[in-house]
């Protein structure tokens, strides 16, 4: 932790890049291990914004970690849950209804449950879609099957992201470009997706507003 935080500080001082940590509990391990992890990271809580749940989904639903999510929230952390990539729509529903996720990583499978999509849109719970990773991992057979367009049309707060690009290929701009080309996204849609990224980030409102103003200024002069 000290090494990671020191690297964050150096990046901000030397490069102007800021970062905060999200700590991930591995879902194939018991909830007791997640609670132990939560206790272990508390000395650095001022540098941590969220507790997450990651790892192999199948057989490891979010409902196994309800106490962990509750304890994380009680300690002031946001909750982010990986759900609906390889797992079913029911895992996304558990992340939303049982864990009260502030953000859901992936969430692709929610399109199989129209009522769930409606709830996600109404709550404006962000989904972090990772198109090129989905293709590499065979979550989708072709890019056209990525649910970005369907979710965007239904008012879901979708974001476009890279996912371990050194493993799966495709940094952030690559993912934006492939989505633009596959779904014929308009400039307005691309701008909205970029806005979603800032409004979904765990930043203070002043910092968010600063980034949104920069985005708007860029859009105003972009060809």
Catalytic residue among 12, 31, 85, 97: 85
Residues 156-171 as b or e (16 or more Cβ within 10 Å = b)? bbbbbbbbebeeeebe
What gap in Å lies between CA 180 and CA 160, rounded to an integer?
11
Query: How far is CA 164 from each of CA 22, 170, 171, rounded to the nearest angstrom?
Result: 15, 9, 9
Q: How many residues in the chain?
A: 223
CA 126 from chain centre, in angstroms, equals 7
Nearest C-alpha neighbor of 146 from the set 167, 176, 189, 191:
176
What gap in Å lies between CA 82 and CA 24, rounded to an integer?
10
Strands 21-26 and 78-83 turn out to be: unpaired
Concerning whether 97 is annotated as a catalytic residue, the answer is no
Active site residues: 85
């Amino acid at each position: 932790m000290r090494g990671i935080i020191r690297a964050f500080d150096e990046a901000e001082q030397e490069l102007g890049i800021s970062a905060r940590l999200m700590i991930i509990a591995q879902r194939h391990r018991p909830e007791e291990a997640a609670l132990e992890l939560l206790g272990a990271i508390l000395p650095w809580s001022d540098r941590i914004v969220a507790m997450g749940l990651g790892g192999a989904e199948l057989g490891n639903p979010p409902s196994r970690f309800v106490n962990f999510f509750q304890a994380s929230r009680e300690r002031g952390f946001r909750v982010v849950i990986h759900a609906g990539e390889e797992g079913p729509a029911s895992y996304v529903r558990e992340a939303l209804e049982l864990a009260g996720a502030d953000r859901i990583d992936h969430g692709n499978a929610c399109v199989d449950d129209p009522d769930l999509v409606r709830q996600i849109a109404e709550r404006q719970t962000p989904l972090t879609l990772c198109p090129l990773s989905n293709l590499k991992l065979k979550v989708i057979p072709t890019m056209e099957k990525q649910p970005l367009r369907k979710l965007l049309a239904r008012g879901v707060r979708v974001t476009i992201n890279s996912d371990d690009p050194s493993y799966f290929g495709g940094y952030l701009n690559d993912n934006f470009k492939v989505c633009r080309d596959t779904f014929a996204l308009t400039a307005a849609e691309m701008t909205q997706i970029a806005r979603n990224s800032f409004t979904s980030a765990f930043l203070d409102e002043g910092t968010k507003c600063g980034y949104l103003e920069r985005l708007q200024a860029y859009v105003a002069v972009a060809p």
